[in-house]
Amino acid sequence: MGIKIRKLLVILIITIPVVSYSGCKKQPKCGCDGDVLFSITDQVFDHSTVVYNTSGSNAYFFVYSGLGAYYDTYYFCNPSEMFTKYSSIASDEQVKLSGDVYWDCSYVTSASSSSSSSSYYYSYYKVYNIKVTALESSLYGKK
């Protein structure tokens, strides 16, 4: 009788993990062609918050993360495409922005390969890519 119970326990110990395993959780793909994390719709920013380089080939903005002095950074996937729209908005007006947000691949790589002490730092700020679909002067007008 004791041998049958031990065999049954061994079978249960082996089969329960196999049956209860639900597989790996799919991680979102990073980068501008990855999986959309969320969308921003008609978010209003000060004109100076959106930063472009002089040639219009690089753009980003910061959003307060809510944790101390940390800000999340959003790099444009399509800065050149939006540069003329951004340039047409007067510097004393506010900017209304919409777009789809993705994980930035360099941030994901750095955060996942960091040591435990610096991974604590990565939990305070995040870096994203955003494919901007609309960039225009805000209805709220000037600051």
Judged against a pLDDT cut of 60, whether residue 93 lies above it is answered with: yes
81-105 average pLDDT score: 93
Nearest to 79 by CA among 105, 103, 97, 106: 97
Domain annotation for the chain: domains and CATH numbers: 28-142 (2.40.50)
Q: How many residues does the chain have?
A: 143
The reported pTM is 0.74
* Bigger pLDDT: 132 vs 115: 132
pLDDT at 38: 95
Per the prediction, the chain carries an average pLDDT of 83
* 85 has a pLDDT exceeding 70: yes
Question: 130: buried, middle or exposed (CB in 10 Å: 19+, 13-18, 0-12)?
Answer: buried
